[in-house]
Amino acid sequence: MDLHEETIQGLHAKLASREVSSEEVTRHFLDRISSLNQELNAYITVAAEEALAQAREADGRLAKGDAESPLCGVPIAIKDNMNTRGVRTTCASRMLEHFVPPFDATVVGKLREAGAVFLGKTNMDEFAMGSSTEHSLFGPCRNPHDHGRVTGGSSGGSACAVAANLCVAATGSDTGGSIRQPASYCGVVGMKPTYGRVSRFGLVAFASSLDQIGPIAKDVTDCSLLLQALSGYDPRDSTSVDAPVPDFASFLTGDVRGLRMGIPKEYFVEGMDAEVEEAVRKAIRVLEEAGAVPVEISLPHSAYGIPVYYLIATAEASSNLARYDGVKYGFRAKGASDSLRQMYCRTRSEGFGTEVKRRIMLGTYALSSGYYDAYYRKAQQVRTLIRRDFMEAFDRCDVIVTPTVPSPAFPIGEKTGDPLQMYLLDIFTTTVNLAGLPGLSIPCGTTSGGLPVGMQILGRHFDEGTVLKTAFAFEKQTLSTNRLQA
């Protein structure tokens, strides 16, 4: 097996035995990125010098036996909306094109402590607003299974980098499906943890009550290992929950006998791609054969997930993005000095892309005088009903299984002219963020055209372990053919 095909656990064994050095592995990945990234556009910034310095430091720790973490010396990628000290963090926007943070996000600091090697920052939809990674200042990311198709978004660069073996694993952020949807499109494993499980400190905010950082990996075991490193209470994040972090790998037993598997009737809808539905239903039967018990459930308010999400998320975005005014940091329009108002207007008009401006305007309207009660307040009330649906469903089941996305990856440019069609791609994922639940996407098959299909597994609050256990049992029963080979 070539080095770039290795998983975290496989590479850790090689590094620990000194069969290879982290510097050797890192150079191998940097060479691969140099060869393939121009076409795939998975990375915005490649941090070659920093990566090699980290690799040499990791080799020193490994040589002294001072490297308990399985991530020590392992090359990973960081989504470009997480602050990295000394390495630019752009959010794929002109507004932050040259911004170099003076501090690390908490998750980045945790990964540094674990000895991980940062290859660079991955492409994304601008400020994480999109479902295709086409809304990027640096151009679209391309699906490694078909270069004419999207990777999904907004964590499309991270999913692409993992699928194309341009890193061993990567971080992503998920506000309405931004880890799970690109994981499905690219044929990798991606997990959104429970809201509050992973610190958001140093994550550039999109919608603060919805954003959550999580892992993207080649298999479920790697996903659990990266989640372990990311999780934990952080006093610098007021939404971080001080809850015990279990040993996630201990859940990977492969035994799901008696596990109650909820199948929501609302998630197998008319108009869904037939091959996607067939692949997910086959995957459910695999879990049944492994001993899981299917239970039909109902999530009656799921139909309101898209409008509720696109009211709450845009309202919070309009507030969070008000800080980008050309005064303290980031982009400032040239020649905008006649007045403060002109500087604000020109900076924001030129600094933000079309999709970001659309969402800011939608959110500002929803929060405006005379409309707040009719839109934002009502959306929050329906959000409570959506959360209640899930709580009632989990009285009858242990996990919920659904498709991740209603269709496979679509051609680049096909939906950019129709924002509503793009928004509807999130129909199966947004409700999970609204309820704050953990959710994982795992490859479960391919279409006749060879495009990956993902199955989504959802769990109770802070029960990532059962979600991972279910995913691992499915993975154990099937040999995945969705990840690209060299």
Rounded CA separation 106/120 (Å) = 17
Residue type at 32 in one-letter notation: R
79: annotated active-site residue: yes
Q: How far is CA 46 from its chain centroid? A: 19
Rounded CA separation 160/145 (Å) = 9
Tell me the Ramachandran region of residue 266: left when phi exceeds 0, alpha when psi lies from -120 to 50, beta otherwise: alpha
For tokens 């996305």, the residue is 405
Nearest to 216 by CA among 443, 424, 437: 443
Asked if 294 and 312 count as a contact pair (C-beta separation under 8 A), the reply is no
- Cα angle 412-185-424, degrees, rounded to a multiple of 5: 70
Nearest to 163 by CA among 138, 136, 135, 182: 182
Asked if the bond preceding 231 is cis, omega within 30° of 0, the reply is no
For tokens 């999530």, the residue is 299
Strand-pairing partners, residue 457, are 401, 440
Query: Residues 79, 121, 192, 415: which is the catalytic one?
Result: 79
Element (H, E) at 122: strand 117-122
Nearest to 310 by CA among 367, 359, 368: 359
275 burial via Cβ count (<10 Å: 0-12, 13-18, 19+): middle
Rounded CA separation 293/141 (Å) = 39
Element (H, E) at 160: helix 156-163
Rounded CA separation 431/157 (Å) = 24
178: annotated active-site residue: yes
Query: Residues 21, 131, 173, 178: which is the catalytic one?
Result: 178
Query: Residues 154, 199, 318, 441: which is the catalytic one?
Result: 154
Nearest to 451 by CA among 297, 303, 321, 276: 276
Q: What is the DSSP string of 216-250?
A: EESSHHHHHHHHHHHBS--TT-TT--------GGG
Q: What is the DSSP string of 294-359?
A: EEEE--GGGGGHHHHHHHHHHHHHHHHGGG-SSSSSS---TT--S-HHHHHHHHHHHHS-HHHHHH
| Residues acting as catalytic residues | 79, 154, 178
